[in-house]
Every structure is written in structure tokens, then in C-alpha cells.
């Protein structure tokens, strides 16, 4: 019986088995940002520890940074945000850590810049104090979110204490229908397996649908692993992976590149690899999904009506009722036609070039509906440069979108981009938790960039499949 990538990579990085039964795992790439790292640096200082591998840690600022030019002037208007930015500047300078910063024009969402710079490479172990670290699994890495005490562990030892996960292979067979995107694939497996279906598992995504995806699409699929309870999700590296990485800043070159590719190929799951669980989802069955509730599993195909409370297991009915009450939606109502107040295109889930290009197709030459506030937020300053070079900023601007600078923006309410009152947003981000987008009563409908773009133009949730002539 062959091995899967998870076990091959885990074994390569295993330093020791600890008394607790956990394994000490070497971390090849450590990413940090301003929210979950300041207390970790304080812990390192309090214990008088050093950082033995500063060259394996990379930092950026994404959660708190304003996305308007004026808002980014220093000092930042919000003194707490300014303090956090100063801390990451000082901490990275003190410990010799590379900081991708607005001053150098190379800042961005941590999960956008890792792949974009070629830092994320197959076969790595990657940790970051951020649950969406699973994004990097698209490259065939073991990439997972950690807490702040663990950030301090990695700073001080470049290792983590980790238990071995089980591995579930999810095969997406066949092909996606027009109007169905990587985001819908993500929402589909979460809908099917639930928000805790992946607890204890790493998800290996495969099958024809995944094989045909671009790296950016695979990142969207892996990004939401944690929303399904799986701490990491990955795709085996293949030619698509290598083509994406070749020539990027931190990738090997020349003969070293050849050695790297051979190594990466050897780490992909063997054809006869063993899995703890295997499931299959037919690509043809996946519809454009929209969430209607307060967990990412509370979703329906856009053409469907909202489910009855008693269609759920009894244990889940409390949270379903809570969702209906919070959202002010009724069982049985169609999701299509739900008016939206805000449209947010961006985030580590859908803030990359292909996301902006796809959304732009549906807004080009159109106008954002009256009364709708629409934001297009590139995931990094590099994405912004490319988008501007392609004229996408103008497409969004002429349609009435606000074209912003790079950051997490309205995904999570730690910067000025927030919902007000009980506004409803059509959002390409990853979480529809209560209050997630900044207002304690704000309501989030998760969907693909194309669906969000159409919602902006129509002012309501709309089936993108009826707009594909664009």
C-alpha cells in the first residue's frame, strides 16, 4: 500500500515523538501578521529566547490596515491599529524577519503573498497564526492555523507539537457546469460534510475537477477547509503547480529547480495510497451556492428555497433556528431575490487576479444598483498592480464599485471596512458568523465572485447562470 502526501511530508519533518504522544514537527515556513504575533514576541522576550531560524519566518500586515489611500497615511487614524503596526515593524526588525510592508509596496493578505512570491512550495510544513493558512495546501503542503502560544513555539524552536491527523480524500469527479466556480466547490463540500465533519482530518482534494483547476482556484478550495472543520486541506502537486511556481522570487532556479520538481513529484500521494476515508462528489451536481445562515454549512443552491428547520438533525435545530432569527429569513423562502446592501469582493478566499477578472466580466459596462455599496479589494499590492495594468480598476470604478488597496478589508471587521446595522452583504469571504463583518447585527451571504458581481448590479441575490452571455 502506498503513502499519501500527508504522511510523506509529516514524516520528513518529524523531529521527535513527545511524552504526550504528539510529534515535534519542523515548520519550514512560518508566516506572521500583526494580530496574532505581538503577544508571541512578548512571550519570546519574557523567556529570554532567541529566534533560531529568522529566515524561515515572513511577516506582513493585513487585518487592521485600512484600504483607502488616505486611511493608510501614518500614523493610522485608529491608535490601536497604529500600535499593532508599530509592533510588527519593531518585532521583525529586532529579530531579523522579512516584513512585506506597505512602505516597500509588497504588502498583502498573508495567504495571498506567500504563494505569489513563491514562498509556498510543495512538501512544506507551513504554520501561521491564522486559520486560513489551509490555503497554502493548494501547493501540496501541510499548512495549518495555530494560536499565539504556538506562534511563540515556532519563533523559539521552528517546531510545533502536533498530533497526526487522519486523511480524507474528497474526489470531485466529472466537470463543473458553467457558472459554477471553486468557491461553490468549497461551499458544496462544507454543506455536505458539515462545519465539524473535518475535525480530526486533513482533507486531500482530488479528482478531475481539481486536476483541471488553476492554482488560484485550488487555493480557494483549500482556504475553506477549516470552515469544514479540517485544520488543513491539500491538493497533490502537479504540472499546474510547477508552472505556477517557476520563476517566482523565492523559488529555486536552474538545476536546483529540476531537483525541486523531482522532489515535489515524489511527495504526491501514491496511486495506491491508503486513506482513512474517501468520498466522492459529482462536479455536475454542484450548483452556485449561497449561504443563508450563520455557519458556512448553512447554504443552498441559488435556485433552491431555504430548508425547513425540521429537515435538520435535532441537535442542529437550535443553531438553525438561531440562524433564521438572526438573518430575519423564513423557512421555504427563495434565496434568489434577497436584496443586498453591500457587496464585498476580496479576502484570502477570493481576492486574487482570477477572482477580480471573473467579477469584472459581470460588471463591465454595467452599474452597481442604486443604494448598494460595493467594494473590490485586491488581496495584495502585487494583485493591485496587475489589476490596474489590465484596467480592472477602471472597470470596477466606472460601474460604481469602490476600488480599494490591499488588505483583509470587510472579511473580518478589524479595519474601517464594516457593515452597518443589519445590512446584508453579498461577500466573497469565508465566514458568515454573527457579527463577522463588523456590525453585531450585520448579515453575510457567502458566494463566488461572479455571483457577488451579479448581485451588485442587480441589487439582489441573482443566479449567475442567467447572466453567462456576458
Gap between the Cα atoms of 280 and 282, Å rounded = 7
Cell, residue 309: 428547520
Q: Which stretch binds another protein (CB under 8 A): 100-108, 206-214, 226-234, 365-373?
A: 226-234
Residue 438 binding another protein, by CB under 8 A:
yes
- Give yes or no for residue 130 binding another protein (CB under 8 A): yes
Interacting span for another protein (CB under 8 A) from 185-193, 282-290, 391-399, 412-420: 412-420
> Measured from the CB of residue 155, what is the shortest distance to another protein in angstroms?
10
Residue 93, interface with another protein (CB under 8 A)? no
CA separation for the pair 245, 115 (Å, rounded):
8
Q: Which is nearer to another protein, 127 or 363 (CB)?
A: 127
Question: In the set 3, 54, 68, 78, which binds another protein (CB under 8 A)?
Answer: 78
Minimum distance between the CB of residue 455 and another protein, rounded to whole angstroms?
23
**What cell numbers appear for 143 in the block?**
499548512
Q: Which is nearer to another protein, 149 or 470 (CB)?
A: 149
Least Cβ distance, residue 298 to another protein (angstroms)? 9
Angle between helices 353-363 and 449-458 (to 10 degrees): 30
75 is an interface residue for another protein by CB under 8 A: no
Separation of alpha carbons 176 and 193, rounded Å:
19
Instruction: Kindly tell me which residue out of 42, 279, 303, 369 binds another protein, with binding defined by CB under 8 A.
Output: 42
Q: Regarding beta strands 201-206 and 402-403, do their DSSP bridges make them parallel or antiparallel, or are they unpaired? A: unpaired
In our burial notation (b when 16+ CB lie closer than 10 A, e otherwise), range 262-277 reads eebbebbbeeebebee
Measured from the CB atom, the residue of 373 and 436 that comes closer to another protein is 436
Binding piece for another protein, criterion CB under 8 A, among 196-204, 269-277, 332-340, 347-355: 196-204
Phi–psi pair at 33, nearest 5 degrees: -135, 180
Q: Of 45, 73, 77, 80, which one interacts with another protein (CB under 8 A)?
A: 80
Given 5, 31, 56, 359, the residue binding another protein (CB under 8 A): 56
Distance CA 34, CA 39 (A): 10
Question: Cis before residue 75, ω within 30 degrees of 0?
Answer: yes
Determine, following the binding rule CB under 8 A, whether residue 89 of this chain makes contact with another protein.
no
Q: Does 412 bind another protein (CB under 8 A)?
A: yes
81 lines the binding site for another protein (CB under 8 A):
yes
In Å, how far from its chain's centre is CA 385? Answer: 21
Where in 378-397 is the site for another protein (CB under 8 A)? none
The answer to whether residues 60 and 408 touch, using CB atoms and an 8 Å cutoff, is no
Q: How far is the CB of 318 from another protein (least distance, A)?
A: 5
Q: Which of 66, 71, 102, 123 lies at the binding interface for another protein (CB under 8 A)?
A: 123
How many angstroms separate the CA atoms of 402 and 457, rounded? 14
How far apart are the C-alpha atoms of 203 and 189, rounded to whole Å? 10
Among 102, 140, 229, 233, binds another protein (CB under 8 A): 229
Q: What are phi and psi of 32, to 5 degrees?
A: -135, 155
Q: Which of residues 140-179 bind another protein (CB under 8 A)?
A: 144-150, 152-153, 156-161, 163
CB 387 within 8 A of CB 354: no
Query: E strands within 258-297?
Result: 277-282, 289-291
* Site for another protein contains 48 (CB under 8 A): no
Q: Is residue 120 involved in binding another protein (CB under 8 A)?
A: no
User: CA 400 to CA 363: how far, in whole Å?
Assistant: 9
Task: Rule CB under 8 A: say whether 342 interacts with another protein.
Answer: no
Contacts (CB under 8 A) with another protein, residues 231-290: 231, 250, 252, 256-257, 259-260, 263
Kindly state whether residue 33 participates in binding another protein, applying the rule CB under 8 A: no
Which lies closer to another protein via its Cβ, residue 28 or residue 346? 28
Asked if 347 interacts with another protein (CB under 8 A), we say no
Question: What minimum distance in Å lies between the beta carbon of 419 and another protein?
Answer: 12
Q: State yes or no: residue 319 binds another protein (CB under 8 A).
A: yes
Q: Is 436 in the site for another protein (CB under 8 A)?
A: yes
Nearest to 88 by CA among 113, 63, 69, 71: 63
Q: Exposure string (b/e) for 310-324, b if CB count within 10 Å is 16 or more? A: eeeeeebeeebeebb
Measure the CA–CA gap between 118 and 251, rounded to whole angstroms: 5
Q: Please, which residue, 47 or 271, has the CB nearer to another protein?
A: 47
Is residue 35 involved in binding another protein (CB under 8 A)? yes
Write the binding mask 356 to 375 for another protein: x where contact by CB under 8 A, - elsewhere.
Answer: --------------------
| Residue 95 exposure: Cα atoms within 13 Å on the Cβ side | 31
Rounded distance between C-alpha atoms, residue 214 and residue 243, angstroms: 10
The half-sphere exposure of 210 on its side-chain side, counting CA atoms within 13 A, is 32
Q: Rule CB under 8 A: is residue 38 a binding residue for another protein?
A: yes
Residue with cell 509588497: 106
Residue 267 CB, nearest approach to another protein (Å): 11
Amino acid at each position: 500500500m502506498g503513502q499519501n502526501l500527508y504522511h510523506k511530508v509529516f514524516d520528513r519533518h518529524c523531529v521527535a515523538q513527545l511524552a504526550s504522544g504528539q510529534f515535534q514537527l519542523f515548520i519550514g515556513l512560518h508566516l506572521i501578521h500583526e494580530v496574532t504575533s505581538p503577544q508571541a514576541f512578548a512571550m519570546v522576550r519574557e523567556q529570554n529566547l532567541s529566534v533560531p531560524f529568522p529566515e524561515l519566518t515572513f511577516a506582513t500586515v493585513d487585518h487592521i490596515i485600512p484600504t483607502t489611500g488616505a486611511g493608510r497615511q501614518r500614523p493610522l487614524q485608529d491608535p490601536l491599529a497604529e500600535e499593532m503596526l508599530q509592533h510588527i515593524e519593531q518585532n521583525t526588525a529586532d529579530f531579523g524577519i522579512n516584513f512585506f510592508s506597505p512602505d516597500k509596496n509588497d504588502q498583502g493578505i498573508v495567504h495571498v503573498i506567500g504563494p505569489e512570491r513563491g514562498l509556498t512550495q510543495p512538501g512544506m510544513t507551513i504554520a501561521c497564526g491564522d486559520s486560513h493558512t489551509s490555503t497554502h495546501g493548494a501547493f501540496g503542503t501541510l499548512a495549518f492555523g495555530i494560536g499565539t502560544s504556538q506562534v511563540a513555539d515556532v519563533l523559539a524552536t521552528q517546531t510545533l507539537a502536533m498530533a497526526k491527523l487522519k486523511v480524507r480524500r474528497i474526489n470531485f469527479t466529472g466537470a463543473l457546469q458553467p457558472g459554477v466556480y471553486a468557491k461553490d466547490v468549497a461551499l458544496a463540500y462544507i454543506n455536505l460534510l458539515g462545519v465539524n465533519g473535518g475535525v480530526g482530518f486533513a482533507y486531500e482534494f482530488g479528482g478531475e475537477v481539481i486536476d483541471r483547476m488553476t492554482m488560484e482556484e485550488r487555493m480557494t478550495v483549500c482556504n475553506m477547509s477549516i470552515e469544514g472543520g479540517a485544520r488543513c486541506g491539500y491538493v497533490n502537486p502537479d504540472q499546474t503547480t510547477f508552472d505556477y511556481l517557476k520563476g517566482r522570487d523565492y523559488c529555486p532556479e536552474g538545476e536546483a529547480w529540476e531537483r525541486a520538481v523531482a522532489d515535489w513529484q515524489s511527495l504526491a500521494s501514491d496511486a495506491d495510497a491508503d486513506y482513512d476515508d474517501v468520498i466522492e462528489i459529482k462536479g455536475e451536481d454542484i450548483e452556485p451556492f449561497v449561504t443563508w445562515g450563520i455557519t458556512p454549512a448553512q447554504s443552498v443552491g441559488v435556485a433552491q428555497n431555504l430548508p425547513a428547520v425540521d429537515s435538520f438533525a435535532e441537535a442542529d435545530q437550535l443553531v438553525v433556528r438561531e440562524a433564521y432569527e438572526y438573518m430575519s429569513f423564513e423557512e421555504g423562502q427563495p434565496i434568489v431575490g434577497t436584496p443586498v446592501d453591500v457587496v464585498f469582493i476580496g479576502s484570502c478566499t477570493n481576492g486574487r487576479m482570477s477572482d477580480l477578472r471573473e467579477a469584472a466580466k459581470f460588471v463591465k459596462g454595467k452599474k452597481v444598483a442604486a443604494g448598494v455599496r460595493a467594494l473590490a479589494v485586491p488581496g495584495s499590492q502585487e494583485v493591485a498592480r496587475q489589476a490596474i495594468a489590465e484596467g480592472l480598476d477602471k472597470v470596477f470604478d466606472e460601474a460604481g464599485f469602490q476600488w480599494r488597496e490591499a488588505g483583509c478589508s470587510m472579511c473580518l471587521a478589524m479595519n474601517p471596512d464594516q457593515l452597518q446595522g443589519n445590512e446584508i452583504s453579498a461577500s466573497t469571504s469565508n465566514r458568515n458568523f454573527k457579527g463577522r463583518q463588523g456590525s453585531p447585527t450585520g448579515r453575510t451571504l457567502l458566494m463566488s465572485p461572479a455571483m457577488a458581481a451579479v448581485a451588485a448590479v442587480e441589487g439582489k441575490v441573482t443566479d449567475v447562470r442567467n447572466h453567462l452571455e456576458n
